[in-house]
Amino acid sequence: MSIFRRRSGAPSDSSPRTTRAESRAELVTLLTRPGCHLCDDARAVVARVAGELGVRWEEVDITSDPKLEAEYGEQIPVTFVDGRQHDFWRVDERRFRAALG
């Protein structure tokens, strides 16, 4: 089981509703591996946008964790926003910025 949550469908009726102002992201996680040129591109976008919006971000090298490598090795780079998978392979800046609130 991954420590990250994959995207899911619409929230259930019992899910708390939040407004745009309440839903600002708190943490972005970028899964990468050494020598990955797509990871370099993603890192640049994540660092710039997260920095502009004041959102914390971290980078995790999947080669340091066999479970992460097995689960995400073919998808890297993979971005997570507050533990939920947002994107893989490329980071679309406009979509990423919108996800961060």
What is the pTM assigned to this prediction? 0.78
pLDDT tens string 50-66: 999 999 999 999 999 99
| DSSP3 helix / strand / coil % (the chain, rounded to 5) | 40, 20, 40
Residue 2: band (very low, low, confident or very high) from pLDDT cuts 50, 70, 90: low
pLDDT beyond 50 at 20: no
* pLDDT for the residue 6: 53
The 10 Å CB-count burial string (b at 16+, else e) for 25-64 is beebbbbbbeebeebeebbebbeebbeeeebebeebebee
pLDDT beyond 70 at 73: yes
Residue with tokens 């964790």: 65
